[in-house]
Structure 1
């Protein structure tokens, strides 16, 4: 019995040709561009948001430090005036004193954060030297910094 080799009838292995390196369709390029644009715009918006709120974060941190150190009402009012001047401009804020100052602060928000009794106690405390700020005064200041800053654009009426 002659044994014949069954592999003799096989042909050589055919190596496949190299795949073509065609670029993706135009739709994919548009999709990639749109995704990159959305990412860049989101990053810019987040950066601007953080930049706009930076002074607010610093002021709240200083107010927390003042609360821990039991700072005077004058120091709390000074911080409030510095923050208002930084956001709203010196020409609007610098000339305001006593009652006018607190009326101006209340006009910057929709809420009446500084009540009449609180305004009177703050006005008295401003001229009494190192009178410590009360918890109510610090809370009103904190709420004002959070609600009024940064100022929103007001529509022309």
Structure 2
């Protein structure tokens, strides 16, 4: 015996035979029936598209920061592995000022920043929201122009502070063009 037969009440007199099942209503359409909902959906899709476009544009504009931070991380790793090798340490420390200059050149017109050196360069870094003080500015100049043995002799604490200031500047600088 099937399970559906148990659900049907017995009808010995046949009175239920002419009855029919009630028809089920049509399925409800998910398509909006009024123009207002269509317009709301279009406006929402346009807003999402504009937000995605702005986000991609902003991400592309900030790409130079990600590249610079990646290079700074490799410089930092090179410094960590170069504790015993003064030549490698001097090379890594000399790469820091070059990285800062290249990062600045990525967003500032070359005429404004390429020729800056010494106190003018340090003033530019401070003006663009860098936390470079006189000590870290002197370390930048030392790493740029001093002989390699002098650069290799920079204490680890000073090197770590210079890397911290560099990372902070790369992440937070704002340039008025």
Match of 2:142 in 1: 124
CA contact (8 A) 2:97 2:143 kept: no
Comparing both chains, which one has the higher relative contact order based on Cα–Cα distances under 8 Å and sequence gaps of 6 or more?
1
- After the TM superposition, list the runs of 4 or more consecutive aligned residues in structure 1 that deviate by more than 4 angstroms: 11-19
Which residue of structure 1 lines up, in the alignment, with residue 169 of structure 2? 144
Contact 1:118–1:137 (CA<8 Å) still a contact in 2? yes
| Shift in CA distance, 77/6, structure 1 to aligned 2, threshold 3 Å | same
Report if aligned partners of 2:94, 2:144 keep a CA contact under 8 Å in 1.
yes
- Tell me, yes or no, if structure 1 residue 98 matches structure 2 residue 123: no
2-structure distance, mates of 1:40, 1:64: 34
Q: Distance in 1 between matches of 2:66 and 2:104?
A: 14
TM-score (norm 2): 0.70
TM-score with structure 1 length normalisation?
0.78
Q: Which runs of 5+ in 2 are unaligned?
A: 1-11, 80-90
> Does structure 1 residue 24 correspond to structure 2 residue 33?
yes
Aligned residue pairs, count: 147
Decide which of 126, 132, 141 is 1:114's aligned counterpart. Answer: 132
Give ranges in structure 1 of 5+ residues lacking alignment: none
> What is the DSSP-based 3-state SS (H/G/I as helix, E as strand, rest coil) of the residue aligned with 2:116?
coil
Supply the RMSD in Å over aligned alpha carbons.
2.8
> What is the aligned counterpart of 1:50 among 44, 54, 59?
59
